[in-house]
Amino acid sequence: MAPTVTHNPDASRFEINQDGHFAECVYRRQGDLLVLVHTEVPAALQGLGLAGQLVKAALAFAREQKLRVRPSCSYAVTYMRRHPETQDLLEVPFNPLP
């Protein structure tokens, strides 16, 4: 069974609680901008694709709310580079890779 991503707006994060462990994607909302600040998955849950699920949920929320996105955490940057269908959400487009 796939883990459930929960939006916790009071804590400004998307969360997964699984097997007694907690994974999160923390954001800051600044007007019409969603800043993805930090994504963390504990060692016991790494390699299961949870970070991707968290960022995907955050980006779906941004799209639904018509927000621009600033990926400040390295994982969110990598995720958005690997998923070009999300790049229209970017506050500032990525520089082309060399």
Number of Cβ within a 10 Å radius of residue 57: 18
Q: Which of these is catalytic: 5, 73, 76, 89?
A: 73
Yes or no: say if 59 and 75 are a contact pair by the CB < 8 Å rule. Answer: no
Q: Are 44 and 37 in contact (CB under 8 A)?
A: no
- Any catalytic annotation for residue 25? no
The catalytic residue positions are 73
